[in-house]
Amino acid sequence: MCGKLDYYLQLFSALRTDRNRNRWSAETCFQAPHKPFLLLSILDAIASSAITKNFIEPSFELAETFAGYWSLVMPLGTSGSMSYPFYHLESSGFWHLVSQPGNPHERGRTIGSVKLLRKYYLGARFDDDLFPLLVMETSRERLRSALIETYFPPAVRPVVSEQAVINRSAVTYEHELLTTAEQKPHYDTVFDQKPDIDKKVRDQGFRKAIVKLYEHRCALCGIRMLTPEGHTIVEAAHIVPWNESHDDKPQNGLALCRLCHWSFDKGLMGVGQEYEVLISSAVRQDNNFPGHMETLSGRGIFKPCSSNYWPGQDRLDVHRKKIFRKT
Ligand SMILES: [Zn+2]
């Protein structure tokens, strides 16, 4: 086993990357960070049991983790697609792509987005010898260290390591939010027992749970849009603000597009006792031109499939009384 680990440690430290110094800065040791970010994202998914089999799907969740690493280290305003490393990692020798049946990809032709990647490839497998090493914590952490130490300078390494911890904990937290709601829908205090949960973990875990439950759809206006990278238009909103409620349960959440999120927080939109959209008369005042918003008035909101996860009328009532504007 040791010989195998050494072998893969060496391969992880010698990934083929773009080393154009005009493109890549000291933050990534003057190399393209795509492959390290992809491998780190996969290690996090394995560590949190989101991936349990030696078959890695190019999922939007994985792309989100990849994007999280990217925005952490890379300059603001830049973006990288997970599709590049997912495809090009094949040159490492330990990564084997599995094509979509009946949809051949002309090798070498650029795949510029996760959407296209998913069109051509079902996923990829690691070497059969490598996957068990990724599942076993001790060897996985050594491989993670090799990635971090090879591709990031000392100043950046702690941030990358911390992100790995956040990613793993956020998935655990998301699980906790979803499973507890299912089994004990009235157990409201369970999360208060963990005041030490880091804000980033909470935010990320809550967001993952809510976006998944609402399938990327805005509860109020129904809009659903994803970019080819899988970035979603919806955000996870608290019905009773976190500051007051310390309540991340799905019953205190709504997936909302940016316009609806802002309008809901400002009290211009609300949800009624029959789960209908409420539009405050304040939107019709002064110089406002609310456009399609008024047509939503009285329409049913979009809710998760299981009623266990529907927004709680107790929380909505607090919003109606304290935040929703009557005038
Ligand atoms: Zn909306």
pLDDT tens digits for range 215-255: 999 999 999 998 988 889 999 999 999 989 989 999 999 99
Taking the alpha carbons of 190, 192, 196, 199 in that order, is the dihedral positive or negative? positive
Ligand 1 center from residue 260 Cα (angstroms) = 4
Cβ atoms of 226 and 216 within 8 Å: the answer is: yes
**pLDDT value of residue 182:** 52
- DSSP conformation letters of 244-272: HH---SGGGEEEE-HHHHHHHHTTSEEE-
Q: In this structure, what DSSP letter does residue 237 have? A: E
Ligand 1 center from residue 256 Cα (angstroms) = 5
Ligand 1 center from residue 220 Cα (angstroms) = 5
**pLDDT value of residue 169:** 86
Ligand 1 center from residue 313 Cα (angstroms) = 20
Ligand 1 center from residue 255 Cα (angstroms) = 9
Cβ atoms of 255 and 234 within 8 Å: the answer is: yes
Ligand 1 center from residue 172 Cα (angstroms) = 28
Ligand 1 center from residue 222 Cα (angstroms) = 6
| Rg of the Cα atoms in the chain | 22
Cβ burial of 315 (10 Å; 0-12, 13-18, 19+) is buried
Give the separation between CA 317 and CA 327, rounded to whole angstroms.
17
Size (the chain), residues: 327
Place of tokens 């072998």: 7
Ligand 1 center from residue 295 Cα (angstroms) = 12
**pLDDT value of residue 79:** 87
Give the separation between CA 192 and CA 176, rounded to whole angstroms.
13
List helix spans (H) across the chain: 2-13, 34-47, 60-73, 83-88, 114-120, 131-135, 137-151, 157-183, 199-213, 242-245, 258-265, 313-322
Regions of the chain short of the pLDDT cut 70:
1-2, 181-197
Give the 3-state DSSP-derived string for 3-37, with helices as H, strands as E and coil as C: HHHHHHHHHHHCCCCCCCCCCCCHHHCCCCCHHHH
Give the separation between CA 83 and CA 118, rounded to whole angstroms.
9
Ligand 1 center from residue 271 Cα (angstroms) = 13
**pLDDT value of residue 200:** 85
Give the separation between CA 60 and CA 229, rounded to whole angstroms.
7
Residue type, 107: R
Q: In this structure, what DSSP letter does residue 240 have? A: S
pTM: 0.87
Ligand 1 center from residue 91 Cα (angstroms) = 43
**315-322, Cβ contacts within 8 angstroms, sequence gap of 24 or more:** 315/239, 315/240, 315/245, 315/247, 315/251, 315/252, 316/239, 316/270, 316/271, 316/272, 316/273, 318/239, 318/240, 319/239, 319/240, 319/264, 319/270, 319/271, 320/270, 320/271, 320/272, 320/278
Q: Which residues pair with 123 in a beta bridge?
A: 98
Ligand 1 center from residue 265 Cα (angstroms) = 12
